[in-house]
Amino acid sequence: MSLAVATPASARLSPLTTSSPEPCRRRRLLLSAAAPLRRTRLRRRIAVVASVPDPAARPAEYTPWLIAGLGNPGSKYHGTRHNVGFEMVDRIARDEGITMNTIQSKSLLGIGSIGEVPVLLVKPQSYINYSGEAIGPLAAYYQVPLRHILVMYDEMSLPNGVLRLQRKGGHGRHNGLQNVMECLDSSRELPRLSIGIGSPPGKMDTRAFLLQKFSSEERLQIDTALEQGVDAVRTLVLKGFSGSIERFNLVQKYKFHSV
- Active site (annotated) includes residue 171: no
Amino acid at 137: P
Q: Count Cβ atoms within 10 A of the Cβ of residue 173 and give its class: 0-12 exposed, 13-18 middle, 19 or more buried.
A: exposed
Task: Report whether 129 belongs to an annotated binding site.
Answer: yes
- What is d(CA 73, CA 255) in angstroms, rounded to the nearest whole number? 31
Are 63 and 150 in contact, with CB atoms under 8 Å apart?
A: no
CB 184 within 8 A of CB 150: no
Phi, psi for 103 (deg, rounded to 5): -110, 125
Distance CA 101, CA 110 (A): 6
Cα(35)–Cα(132) distance, integer angstroms: 18
Q: Which of 78, 82, 148, 174 is catalytic?
A: 82
Is 153 annotated as belonging to a binding site? no
Please check whether residue 160 is in contact with residue 196, taking contact to mean a CB–CB distance below 8 angstroms. Answer: yes
| β-strands 192-196, 163-166 pairing | antiparallel
Is 175 within any annotated ligand binding site?
yes
Half-sphere exposure of 159 (CA within 13 A, CB side): 8
Amino acid at 131: S
- Give CA angle at 213 (212, 214), nearest 5°: 120
- Catalytic residues, by residue number, are 82
**Which residues contribute to the annotated binding site for tRNA?**
77, 127, 129, 175
Q: What residues form the annotated binding site?
A: 77, 127, 129, 175
